[in-house]
Amino acid sequence: MRRRARVALATAGGVAALLVAIAVLLAQSPLTVAFTNTTSQSEDLMANVSQGVVKVCQREETVPSGITAIRLSLDSTFGPRVRLSIEAGGRRLVGATTGSGWTSREVTFAVRPLKRTVFPATLCASFHTQDELVQLLGTPSSSSMAARVQGAPLSGRVIVEYLEPGTATWASLASTIVHDMGLARAAEGAWYAYVALALMVAALTAALVTIRQELS
C-alpha cells in the first residue's frame, strides 16, 4: 500500500472511530439525582479529619430502588480510598469502594441497584488518612439525627445523593444545553454554543487538512 493510501485510510478510520464514539456518548443518559437527604443549597463544614481510621455513619437514610451510584459530600485535595456500606434490618445492602486520589467536594460510588426502596437504612463511610485533610460537608440537624464519627455526633448530616440513569439522552438534552450555555454571559444567547461548535469543527478540519497534506 502506498504512503498516501495508508494515511488516507488512517485518517478515515480515525475520524470514523471518533464519530462512533461521539454517537455512543450522545445516546447515553447522564446520571440524575433520584433522591437526596437535603433540600438546602448550601453545604456547611461538619468536621475536619486528618489522622487515623475514620468511620462516619448516619441513620435514617432512605435508599431508593434502581439507583446506580451514591455521591457523598467529602472534600479533599487527594482523597484516600473510601469504603461505603449501607445496612438495614441487620443486613448489608450495599458495599462499594472508591479508589484514592479523588479531588474536590464529592466522591461517587458505583453501586448495584436495589429492587425496592429501603428505609430506614444506616449508611457508613470509612477511610484511613495519615495527614491529608478530609472535610465532611453537610447540613445542620438535631444531635439525634446527626452523622457520627467514631460514635460521636457531628453538628449535622453529611449530604448524600442517590443517583440513577436519567431518562433523557445527551442528544435529547442538546437544546437545553445550548440554551444554558448562553446564560449569564457577556451577551446572552444560544449563539455561544453554535460558535463553540463552529470553532471546534474549524479546528478539527484545519488539523486534519494540515496532517493529510503533510503526511500524504
Q: Which residues bind other proteins (CB under 8 A)?
A: 3, 6-7, 9-11, 13-15, 17-18, 21-22, 25, 30, 33, 41-43, 50, 71, 75, 77-78, 80-81, 99-101, 103-106, 128, 130-133, 161, 170, 173, 176-177, 179-181, 183-187, 192, 195-196, 199-200, 202-204, 206-208, 210-212, 214-216
Choose between 30 and 120: whose C-beta lies nearer to other proteins.
30
Least distance from other proteins to the Cβ atom of residue 212, Å: 7
> Helical H runs in 28-147?
none
Bridge partners of 55? 126
Least distance from other proteins to the Cβ atom of residue 152, Å: 22
Choose between 10 and 27: whose C-beta lies nearer to other proteins.
10
Give helix 191-215 / helix 3-27 axis angle, nearest 10°: 160
Least distance from other proteins to the Cβ atom of residue 5, Å: 9
117: left (phi over 0), alpha (psi -120 to 50) or beta: beta
Q: Which residue, 136, 114, 116, 140, is CA-closest to 125?
A: 136
Distance CA 27, CA 71 (A): 24
Q: CA-CA-CA-CA torsion for 7, 10, 14, 19, nearest 10 degrees?
A: 90
Choose between 39 and 41: whose C-beta lies nearer to other proteins.
41
Enter the DSSP assignment of 57.
E
The answer to whether the beta carbons of residues 57 and 152 sit under 8 Å apart is no
Choose between 21 and 66: whose C-beta lies nearer to other proteins.
21
Choose between 143 and 216: whose C-beta lies nearer to other proteins.
216
Bridge partners of 104? 76
Least distance from other proteins to the Cβ atom of residue 114, Å: 21
Least distance from other proteins to the Cβ atom of residue 213, Å: 8
